[in-house]
Structure formats: C-alpha cells, structure tokens
Amino acid sequence: MLFIGLMATVLRLDFAFAQGTVMVQSNLVYGAAVDYAGSNLSLTLDAYYVNGTQTNRPVVILTHGGGFGAGDKGYTVAQGSFYPDMAAAFATNGFVAFSINYRLWPGCPGGCPDEIGMAVADVMTALSWIRAHHTDYGVAATKVLIAGDSAGGGLAVNTAYQSTNASSFLGCIALWGGVPPYGSDVHPVSTCPITAQTPPTCLIHGTADTVAPYAISVNMSSNLTAAGVYNELHPLAGYNHYPVMANGVYNKNLVGTIINTMMPFAKLTTGNLPPAGVGPLGQPHHAGRKWPVLFRPQAECRIFPA
C-alpha cells in the first residue's frame, strides 16, 4: 500500500484504548471552493491511520464544531485535542479517519441554510477525494461513517440524511449536534425527512445542554425509532454543551468514555450484525440482518434543493 506524501507525523496516545503508532498526514488539499464572501480557498483535511498493508478498511469522516463560523479539524484552544484524539482512536480501531475543514460563515443569517449547504457540498467533495485515493489508504469506498460534534454533528446529520447522499454513508454519529439558531428552543437538527432509508445513527448528548438542548436528540431518536431506523441515544448526565472542555480544562477521561461509547456503533455499522434483543428507547434490533451498503433514495431535505 502506498500512502500519499512523503511526510507523516507519528502520534502516540496516552489513552488506554490506543494501541500501535498512528500516522498523521496534515493539511492535504482535497478541493477548492469559493466562500460566502466570494474568496477562493483551499479545502484541507488530516488523515489518520495505522501504517501497514491492510485493505478494505472502513472510513470515518470527522466534521468539527464551531457554530458554522469557527472551529478546526485539529487542535485549537477552544476545542482542545478532541478531534486529533478521536481520529487517532478510530485509527487504532481499524479505521482510516479523515478530519476535514469546510467552508465557514461567521454570523451566517437566517438559520444558516446557505452555509450548511456549502458545508454539505464540502463533505461530499472530501468523500470524492477519499474515494479517488482509496488504494493509497487501503480503504473500502463503500464503508463510510460520518461523525461530528455540535455544528459538526448537525453537518454530519444533514449530509448523511440528504437523499442524494444517503447511499454514501453506513452510519452517522452526532455528538450534542445542533444547527442554528442555538439556545433554549428545541428544533430539529435534521432538515431532512427521516424515513426507513435514513442511515443508522448514534447520538451522544449532555442532559444539561443550554446551547443545543438534550431534547433535540431525544426527539430525533424517537423519530428514528418510529421510522424503523436503528439508533442509539447515550445521555451524558448533567453535562452542558461541549462537555469535553469545561472552564478551559480538557477532560481526557470523558473523551475516553465518549470514544468507547461510540466505537461499538462504528464497528457495528461497518459490517457486524446487531445483537438480538431490544435497542435504545425500546427499539427492537434487527437480529440477523446486515445493514445495506446502499440505501434507497429518500425525500429531499427541506433547505437543500436537488
């Protein structure tokens, strides 16, 4: 297997779940775009993998938070090392992780439909780049998950649930996900109809969230269950928004808990069978059934035209 580029950072983790050495390729250009102000910019991503000769590895695309106006794919003072830590954990669990930057629009108006549309387009551009380089990273182009937190969780949902994109994702992970306007009002994170063809979804959310209320994920889980979509809802009791960083302190223990909570879902949706019995919120698991590689098209999302 030939990896792109000659330089890669070696990353070693102090989390208990990390095994082996994770290689990181930073600031790979996956596309070009025009932002909200009409400026040209390069779109970049960081690739995380355990080097070797493996093939057919699943992919996870990570979309950072920041209210669609801030944030980054790597370390920041506000985010800590949450995205590098998540990406490295996925890599040590057999995935190739791609943490991406996408177009931002500080103060985007009217609930940010145009910004969300641009960000969704950027995710799909990144996926096209990953598919074009699948042999370089030893990945399976049909085994793709998307995951993000806060606005990035909203982006993950609205990318994976869009009808033209639904066939591209085996699962979606939203951590305290939401879309503007933020605050006490409870409104759906998904602008797309939830149907039986919506990808399986894992939701992790603080019960004391004042930015994107916990009820957003509760309602979404209920709607997914009603549509017969496998989903998991994991409450973080007593935690507010972006719980991994509180009062400027990065909570490594909580990061480890969150990663260990979502990893079984990630592995489940990339090929394993769900266990028999009752799932989250009383939803029956589909014992004996594999999740399909392709999902049938669903109705258009509310704010994204065909």
Span 86-109, pLDDT tens digits = 999 999 999 999 999 999 999 999
- Looking at per-residue pLDDT, the higher value among 300 and 269 belongs to 269
Which range is most confident: 14-18, 215-219, 295-299, 302-306? 215-219
Look at strands 40-49 and 139-149 and give their pairing: unpaired
Residue 164's pLDDT is 84
The closest alpha carbon to 192, from 157, 232, 230, 149, belongs to: 157
Of the chain, the percentage scoring pLDDT greater than 70 comes to: 82
DSSP 274: P
- CA 167, CA 45: separation in Å to the nearest integer? 22
Closest CA to 44 of 92, 86, 103: 103
Q: pLDDT value at position 292? A: 35
**pLDDT score for 167:** 85
Per-residue confidence (pLDDT) for residue 224, from 0 to 100: 96
Least-confidence region, from 32-36, 39-43, 137-141: 137-141
With cut-offs at 50, 70 and 90, classify the pLDDT of residue 146.
very high
Q: What is the mean pLDDT of the chain?
A: 85
56 in Cβ contact with 72 (< 8 Å): no
Identify the pLDDT of residue 126. 98
Contact 62, 83 (CB under 8 A): yes
Mean pLDDT of the region 62-85: 97
d(CA 238, CA 225) in angstroms, rounded, equals 24
Domain 9-282, CATH among 3.60.130.10, 3.40.50.1820, 1.10.3720.10, 1.10.580.10: 3.40.50.1820
Distance of CA 80 to the CA centre of its chain: 17
Contact 30, 100 (CB under 8 A): yes
CB 20 within 8 A of CB 92: yes
